[in-house]
């Protein structure tokens, strides 16, 4: 890991410094938590940089409901009294307050939190870091103020002030999202950074569940369980810096989705949510299943902070089982994905199966932490899961026979747990290895699509041909066991950005035509909202908007994200 980070950091021009005692950051800390998170926990840090961006510093990287439910929500909120005695919105042409209103809101925030600069920040660099990400291509938009709540009660106070002054409010935690989810609104607003709400509140080993605050990361949860000797883990595994609240809000998944599914499954049992009204709700009880009314938990999964601020979550845990890793190489991506389909239909213990194309394997050889020299070919990484070593060997034998039938060569099975971890680490470093193969000034457009598994060979093959023709450096990495793959396209200027944009658009349309989706796990944010009508249909999108208006009639929660505007469908 250190080797990977140090090589990539050589390309960046940012230098971290702190106001106060000198604080040192290890590359692993920067990778895992990002500069904005470390800044929060290590005095007040700023960045001196020779470029407009924070270059290569690794800053942190609906289920459909019935119309009756939406109508009920409308009726409920119409009946509610306003939280504000001041009709501030009448002084503005939009629902949002004026700059003067926002100034008053900030003053009130400071009074409520006793003028604590550790809770309420208007530091220019703090604002910029919270409205920008080196992980994606979206332009940065700073917030007006950043607030660091410590409890659900703090969040309620912030929401009530935001409502009083009609001030947009955007939740922020791990900052690993890739579609601009936490960008500021052009009018300004409050960035609610819940990364400090990072405690495990209860562990119920006998029930295989855990209650935590929304700002804790899944990596920290699994490390804590391991340290306590509890043989359970949380299997949803996106970027290492991702937090539980962000994972719930974007409906994310990761490499384990083949075996354990996604955030939209049953891994989030309930959530404590602060609504735009300032009310606090708990979506359900802790029991494993319930038939009591609508599944309100899932209303907030994938809502991207537009319906409420998640402050606490009960997550389901899975037993830790023996695993091992195997790697095999193919002459092209079509044969690799065809092999995956046959392997998956055997019903054997596959926890993960990942496609890494030849360009990515080249990136690993140049900038990865691996001591081995990989063949620069389209490759599959399998994580096999069983109850003992005998079953793992049996599964490996079946996989080997199938992949060789499809042209796979160089099948390699990890000799022990350490080698398995080393092999898998090369896969988990995909984004940063990919970014490192471009010139120092380049940025990456990381995108994902998903299709039925049977359509994947054609989709990946056609996309790879398309990407090869545009003249830009690109890599493909995929969770191919469930039909989901990612592409990272590197660009250095506006001309190349337009070329990348065209390639991504073609990729998305290709996936939707195959009965797939514009995003398998990254979420919608800013980047994918223009595709929602094409994918879901106008009626479904209008239903989503109806629910949004019922729950958040002022449109203050994360405005401009998820729900397409009238002009969005005309953009491409």
Name which of 57-71, 389-403, 408-422, 514-528 the model is least confident about: 57-71
In our burial notation (b when 16+ CB lie closer than 10 A, e otherwise), range 39-60 reads bbebeebbbebeeebbbbbbbb
Residue 24 has pLDDT above 80, yes or no: no
Residue 504 has pLDDT above 70, yes or no: yes
Cross-strand bridge partners of residue 313: 212, 271
Give the mean model confidence (pLDDT) for residues 362-379. 85
- Averaged pLDDT score across all residues of the chain: 84
Contact 136, 179 (CB under 8 A): yes
Give the mean model confidence (pLDDT) for residues 317-343. 96
Give the mean model confidence (pLDDT) for residues 21-50. 35
Query: Which one-letter DSSP state was computed for residue 298?
Result: H
Residue 251 has pLDDT above 90, yes or no: yes
pLDDT band at 36 (very low <50, low <70, confident <90, very high): very low
Residue 436 has pLDDT above 90, yes or no: no
Give the pLDDT confidence score for residue 135 in this predicted structure. 78
Residue 4 has pLDDT above 50, yes or no: no
pLDDT band at 368 (very low <50, low <70, confident <90, very high): low
Name which of 11-15, 213-217, 371-375, 553-557 the model is least confident about: 11-15
Q: Is the pTM of this model over 0.85?
A: no
Give the mean model confidence (pLDDT) for residues 441-465. 92
Phi, psi of 489 (to 5 degrees): -110, 125
Give the mean model confidence (pLDDT) for residues 269-294. 96
Q: How far apart are CA 535 and CA 168, in angstroms?
A: 28
Give the pLDDT confidence score for residue 184 in this predicted structure. 95
Give the pLDDT confidence score for residue 434 in this predicted structure. 82
Give the pLDDT confidence score for residue 39 in this predicted structure. 38
Q: What's 370-435 look like in SS3? A: CCCCCCCCEEEEEEEECCCHHHHHHHHHHHHHHHHHCCCEEEEECCCHHHHHHHHHHHHCHHHHHH
Place of tokens 């309100």: 296
pLDDT per position as a tens digit, 536-548: 999 999 999 999 9
pLDDT band at 568 (very low <50, low <70, confident <90, very high): confident
Cross-strand bridge partners of residue 46: 17
Burial (CB count within 10 angstroms: exposed 0-12, middle 13-18, buried 19+), residue 554: buried
Report CA Rg, the chain. 23
pLDDT per position as a tens digit, 86-110: 444 444 446 899 999 999 999 999 9
Left if phi > 0, otherwise alpha if psi is -120 to 50, otherwise beta: which for 232?
beta
Q: What's 56-125 look like in SS3? A: CCCCCCCCCCCHHHHHHHHHHHHCCCCCCCCCHHHHCCCCCCCHHHHHHHHHHHHHHCCCCCCCEECCHH
Give the pLDDT confidence score for residue 419 in this predicted structure. 92
pLDDT per position as a tens digit, 124-149: 999 999 999 877 888 899 999 999 99
pLDDT band at 51 (very low <50, low <70, confident <90, very high): very low
Contact 449, 485 (CB under 8 A): yes
């Amino acid at each position: 890991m250190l080797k990977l980070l140090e090589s990539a950091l050589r390309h960046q021009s940012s230098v971290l410094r702190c106001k106060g005692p000198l604080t040192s950051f290890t590359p692993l800390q920067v990778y895992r938590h990002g500069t904005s998170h470390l800044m929060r926990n290590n005095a007040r840090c700023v960045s001196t940089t020779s470029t407009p961006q924070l270059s290569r510093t690794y800053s942190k990287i609906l289920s459909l409901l019935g119309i009756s439910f939406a109508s009920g929500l409308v009726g409920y909120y119409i009946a509610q009294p306003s939280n504000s005695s001041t009709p501030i919105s009448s002084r503005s042409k939009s629902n949002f307050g004026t700059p003067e209103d926002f100034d008053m809101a900030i003053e009130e925030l400071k009074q409520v939190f006793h003028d604590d600069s550790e809770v309420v920040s208007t530091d220019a660099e703090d604002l910029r870091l919270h409205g920008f990400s080196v992980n994606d291509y979206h332009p940065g938009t700073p917030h007006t103020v950043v607030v660091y709540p410590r409890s659900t009660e703090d969040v309620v106070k912030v929401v009530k002030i935001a409502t009083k002054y009609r001030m947009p409010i955007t939740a922020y935690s791990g900052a690993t999202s890739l579609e601009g989810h936490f960008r500021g609104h052009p009018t300004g607003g409050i960035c609610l950074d819940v990364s400090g709400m990072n405690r495990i509140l209860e562990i119920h080993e006998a029930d295989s569940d855990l209650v935590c605050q929304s700002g804790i990361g899944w990596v920290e949860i699994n490390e804590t369980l391991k340290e306590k000797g509890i043989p359970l883990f949380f299997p949803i595994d996106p970027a290492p810096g991702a937090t539980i609240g962000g994972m719930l809000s974007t409906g994310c998944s990761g490499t384990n989705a083949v075996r354990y599914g996604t955030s939209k499954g049953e891994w989030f049992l309930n959530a404590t949510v602060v609504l735009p009204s300032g009310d606090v709700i708990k979506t359900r009880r802790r029991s494993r299943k319930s038939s009591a009314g609508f599944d309100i938990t899932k209303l907030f999964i994938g809502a991207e902070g537009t319906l409420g601020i998640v402050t606490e979550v009960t997550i389901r845990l899975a037993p830790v089982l023996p695993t091992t890793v195997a790697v095999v190489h193919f002459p092209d991506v079509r044969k690799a994905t065809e092999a995956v389909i046959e392997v998956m239909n055997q019903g054997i213990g596959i926890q993960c199966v990942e496609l890494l194309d030849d360009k990515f394997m080249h990136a690993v050889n140049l900038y990865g932490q691996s001591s081995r020299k990989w063949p620069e070919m389209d490759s599959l990484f399998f994580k096999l899961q069983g109850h003992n070593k005998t079953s793992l060997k049996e599964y490996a034998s079946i996989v080997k026979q199938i992949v060789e039938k499809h042209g796979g060569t160089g099948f390699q099975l990890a000799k022990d747990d350490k080698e398995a971890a080393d092999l898998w680490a090369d896969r988990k470093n995909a984004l940063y290895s990919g970014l490192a193969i471009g010139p120092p000034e380049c940025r990456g457009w990381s995108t994902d699509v998903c299709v039925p598994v049977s359509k994947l060979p054609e989709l990946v093959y056609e996309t790879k041909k398309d990407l090869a023709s545009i003249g830009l450096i690109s890599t493909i990495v995929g969770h191919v066991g469930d039909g989901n793959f990612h592409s990272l396209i590197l660009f250095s200027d506006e001309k190349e950005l337009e070329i990348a944009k065209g390639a991504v658009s073609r990729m998305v349309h290709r996936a939707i035509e195959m009965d797939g989706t514009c995003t398998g796990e990254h979420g919608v944010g800013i980047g994918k909202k223009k595709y929602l009508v094409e994918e879901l249909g106008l009626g479904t999108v209008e239903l989503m908007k109806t629910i949004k208006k019922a729950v958040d009639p002022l449109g203050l929660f994360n405005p401009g994200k998820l729900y397409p505007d009238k002009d969005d469908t005309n953009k491409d």
